[in-house]
Amino acid sequence: EAGVAQSPRYKIIEKRQSVAFWCNPISGHATLYWYQQILGQGPKLLIQFQNNGVVDDSQLPKDRFSAERLKGVDSTLKIQPAKLEDSAVYLCASSYANLNTEAFFGQGTRLTVV
Amino acid sequence: EDQVTQSPEALRLQEGESSSLNCSYTVSGLRGLFWYRQDPGKGPEFLFTLYSAGEEKEKERLKATLTKKESFLHITAPKPEDSATYLCAVQGIREIKAAGNKLTFGGGTRVLVKP
């Protein structure tokens, strides 16, 4: 079974530039998450989709971050404009629709804002 | 709001020296508690799910236990390949069922096992 695919693996941008990350979840997984992991910390949820609808985006900085999941499969996360404090690893994860099921994570995209 | 605290932040062990990692949590209603392993430069890898107090799960040298307030990950006779960051996460009960899938993570425990 193919895992969660993310791209790019690494990205370096200057502050105030924009950047986009892509995620392809495990086939059949209705729930998709984007997490932000700052170095030395645990992952923090940014946004959760159930199929193509947003379930939880309470911790998404909506003035600069946006995400979409068209057709309930792939997803993109965008940052515009980027700030220095956005430097982190952005992890995509997916899980089957039912509750109490584990989430499977991709390798992540390491973003460095200079 | 769900909260998870892991201790210690870092742990240095000699090969074969058993130890335990702690995960303390606060949640209005627990759906599940998850343990993940994360290697440098990789995403978290699922290890265990625990659902109710008293439950235990084992995998090779790892054993996870759960009480109403905390979970422990016991590492028995660790090997250098057990070196990683171990993350604990909880799923809490939500009014919107689908939102109950959300994982709230602790800060992790970095484990280094020396040969």
Q: Quick: pLDDT tens for B63-75.
A: 999 999 999 999 9
What are A17's two structure tokens? 């530039």
What integer pLDDT is reported at residue A1 of this predicted model? 63
Asked if residue A104 belongs to a domain, the reply is no
Q: Which residues of chain A have a CB within 8 Å of the CB of B104?
A: 45
SS3 label, residue B7? strand
What integer pLDDT is reported at residue B97 of this predicted model? 59
A100: pLDDT strictly greater than 60: yes
Please name the residue of chain A whose CA is at the shortest distance from the CA of residue B52.
A100
Using the beta-carbon criterion (under 8 Å), do B101 and A103 form an inter-chain contact?
yes
Q: How far is A2 from chain B (nearest CA, A)?
A: 14
Task: Give the one of B46, B87, B98 whose C-beta lies nearest to A104's C-beta.
Answer: B46
Asked if residue A38 belongs to a domain, the reply is yes
What integer pLDDT is reported at residue B98 of this predicted model? 57
Q: Which of B89, B83, B82, B64 is nearest to B5 (CA)?
A: B89
Asked if residue A94 belongs to a domain, the reply is no
What integer pLDDT is reported at residue A89 of this predicted model? 98
CATH code, B75: 2.60.40.10
A112: pLDDT strictly greater than 90: yes
Number of domains, chain A: 1
Asked if residue A97 belongs to a domain, the reply is no
B99: pLDDT strictly greater than 70: no
Question: For the segment B74-91, what is each residue's pLDDT rounded down to a tens digit?
Answer: 999 999 999 999 999 998
What are B2's two structure tokens? 């769900």
Instruction: Give the pairing of strands B109-114 and B10-14.
Output: parallel
What integer pLDDT is reported at residue B57 of this predicted model? 97
Question: Rounded to the nearest 10 degrees, how much is the dihedral formed by the CA atoms of B71, B77, B80, B83?
Answer: 10
Question: For the segment A56-89, what is each residue's pLDDT rounded down to a tens digit?
Answer: 899 999 999 999 998 889 999 999 999 999 999 9
A19 phi and psi angles, rounded to 5 deg: -150, 150
A98: pLDDT strictly greater than 60: no
pLDDT band per the 50, 70, 90 thresholds, residue B5: very high
Report which secondary-structure segment, H or E, holds A10: strand A10-13
Number of domains, chain B: 1
Task: Give the one of A42, A91, A100 whose C-beta lies nearest to B91's C-beta.
Answer: A100
Question: For the segment B25-61, what is each residue's pLDDT rounded down to a tens digit?
Answer: 999 888 899 999 999 999 999 999 999 999 999 999 9
Using the beta-carbon criterion (under 8 Å), do B105 and A33 form an inter-chain contact?
no
**Cβ neighbours of residue A10 under 8 Å, at least 6 residues apart?**
A109, A110, A112
| Residues listed for chain B | 115
Asked if residue A25 belongs to a domain, the reply is yes
Residue A104 contacts residue A28 (beta carbons within 8 Å): no
SS3 label, residue A37? strand
Asked if residue A78 belongs to a domain, the reply is yes
Q: Which residues of chain B have a CB within 8 Å of the CB of A103?
A: 34, 46, 101, 103
The reply to whether B92 touches chain A by the CB within 8 Å rule is no
CA A78 to chain centre: 9
Query: Average pLDDT, stretch A16-28?
Result: 96
> Chain A: which residues have CB within 8 Å of chain B?
4, 31, 33, 35, 40-45, 48, 50, 55-56, 91, 93, 95, 99-108, 110
Q: How far is B16 from chain A (nearest CA, A)?
A: 26
What integer pLDDT is reported at residue B112 of this predicted model? 98
Please name the residue of chain A whose CA is at the shortest distance from the CA of residue B32.
A100
A16: pLDDT strictly greater than 90: yes
Beta bridge partners of A76: A22, A68
Angle at B18 between CA B17 and CA B24, to 5 degrees: 135
Residue-number span of the structural domain to which B73 is assigned: 3-94+103-114
CATH code, A57: 2.60.40.10
Residue-number span of the structural domain to which A26 is assigned: 1-7+16-86
Using the beta-carbon criterion (under 8 Å), do B31 and A99 form an inter-chain contact?
yes
What are B78's two structure tokens? 């660790």
B100: pLDDT strictly greater than 80: no
Residue A33 contacts residue A92 (beta carbons within 8 Å): yes
